[in-house]
Structure 1
């Protein structure tokens, strides 16, 4: 995806550069004596051509800066936000150029824009609030593209943060009992973040959240044996998935086992372990696949609910 963006930026840089050169040539061709019969239209054409040249240069520079941003080792969410800001600034500068073309001077343009903005402020309160919330998101970094979040009952992975709304790929939802993606896209206005609590399950500083999986066992089971099996399954999977973590960082995310009595009068052995938000279901399955064969192979030490008592 990153390589594709670089190629697209390169293509647009070339297009805008060629367009600027062509328009510059047209601007100077308008000074030729052969066009003297068009004296009445020449000033307008010159100003129009100059405006297009400036707009081409603005977008060319924005693509160059975007190419530089894509070449840096930014987080995906940070890169996305930077590119959005660059695009927004280029659009604003282009609008200023267009307004200057339509009016005789910048003072008149500013006055007109101010009056126009005041009218729009009353008519478009909701979109303007969402746009302000987007600016808040950029600086506050409440969530980034790729994060798993929950807001007002919606939970999913952020795939787009536009100027007015946010799109997430829903996980869990009405038809699933786990954290797998449901396939549905949820869009909500950015203004929602100014009124609702946001839960962010992801982030570079805290890459893991804690999850737990219970197993029902009999009171006569060997609790130490059960604890050792569950801990080993969790630790082995963690080491395999994150070999790059040194022992000190790994110690900060050690799993734990505790026991409790459930409502059916059986004991529960609960393994609590760290997991990346997008891997909750997969990690639980891997731990169970590793632990259950060992537990089942020792029926004298571990007894599970069975028959009518299950």
Structure 2
């Protein structure tokens, strides 16, 4: 994805550069004496050509800056926000150039833009609120692209943060009983973040959340054996998945086992462990697949509910 964006930026840099060069040639040709017969059109054409040159240069520079951003080792969410800001600035500068072309000077253009903005402020309150919320998101970083969030009953992975709304790929939902992606896309206005609480399950500072998986066992089971078995399986899976974490970091995410009585009068051995938000179902499956054969292999130490007593 990152490589594709770099190649796309490179293509547009060349296109905008060619357009700017062609327009420079046109602007130069407009000064030739052979066109003196069209004196009354020349000033308009010059100004129009100069405006197009400036717009081409603005977008070319934005693509160059975007290429630089793509080459840096930014997080995906931060890179996405930076590219959005660059795109927004280039659009604003282009609008200033267009407005300057339509009016005689920048003062008149600024006054017109101010009046136009005032009118739009009354007519488009909801979109403007969503745009302000987008600015808030950029600086506050409540969530980034790729994060798993929950807001107003919606839960999913952030796909896009546009100027007016956010798109997430739903997980869980009406048809699933786990944290897998449902395949449905949910889009909500950015203004919603100013009214509702946001739960962010992801983030560079705290990459894991805590999850737990219970197992029903009999009161006569060897609790120490059960605890050691679950902890060993959980730690082995964690080390295999995250070998790059140093010892200090791993100590911060030590799993734990505790026991409780459930409503069916059986004992539950509950393994509590850290997991990446996108790996909740997969990690639970791996732990169960590795732990159950070991527990079943020691029937003298571990007994499970059977038949009508389950």
Tell me the TM-score range normalised by the shorter chain: over 0.9
TM-fit CA distance, 1:299: 1.0
2:112 alignment counterpart: 112
Structure 1: stretches of 5+ with no match in the other structure: none
2:81 alignment counterpart: 81
* Larger CA deviation: 75-84 vs 31-40: 31-40
2:263 alignment counterpart: 263
Runs ≥4 residues deviating over 2 A:
none
1:60 alignment counterpart: 60
Q: How many angstroms apart in 2 are the aligned matches of 1:66 and 1:194?
A: 29
Deviations 1:176-210 (A, max 9, x none): 01000000000000000001000000000000000
* Larger CA deviation: 175-184 vs 31-40: 31-40
TM-fit CA distance, 1:166: 0.4
1:87-102 equivalences in 2 (<5 Å): 87-102=87-102
Q: 3-state SS of the aligned residue for 2:185? A: strand
Is 1:165 paired with 2:170? no
Q: 3-state SS of the aligned residue for 2:199? A: strand
1:157-306 equivalences in 2 (<5 Å): 157-306=157-306
Q: How many angstroms apart in 1 are the aligned matches of 2:100 and 2:156?
A: 44
1:143 alignment counterpart: 143
Q: How many angstroms apart in 2 are the aligned matches of 1:82 and 1:143?
A: 14
Q: How many angstroms apart in 1 are the aligned matches of 2:302 and 2:175?
A: 34
Is 1:155 paired with 2:155? yes
Q: 3-state SS of the aligned residue for 1:211? A: strand
1:28 alignment counterpart: 28
TM-fit CA distance, 1:247: 1.4
Q: How many angstroms apart in 2 are the aligned matches of 1:138 and 1:244?
A: 30
Deviations 1:100-125 (A, max 9, x none): 00011111111111111111000100
Q: How many angstroms apart in 1 are the aligned matches of 2:58 and 2:226?
A: 66
Deviations 1:33-82 (A, max 9, x none): 11111111110000000000000000000000000000000000000000
Q: How many angstroms apart in 2 are the aligned matches of 1:261 and 1:174?
A: 30
Deviations 1:199-242 (A, max 9, x none): 00000000000000000111111111111110011000000000
Q: How many angstroms apart in 1 are the aligned matches of 2:153 and 2:295?
A: 38
TM-fit CA distance, 1:300: 1.2
Q: How many angstroms apart in 1 are the aligned matches of 2:164 and 2:247?
A: 44
2:38 alignment counterpart: 38
Q: 3-state SS of the aligned residue for 2:158? A: strand
Q: 3-state SS of the aligned residue for 1:163? A: coil
Structure 2: stretches of 5+ with no match in the other structure: none
Q: 3-state SS of the aligned residue for 2:146? A: coil
Normalising by structure 1, report the TM-score.
Answer: 0.99
Q: How many angstroms apart in 1 are the aligned matches of 2:93 and 2:244?
A: 45
Q: How many residues align?
A: 310
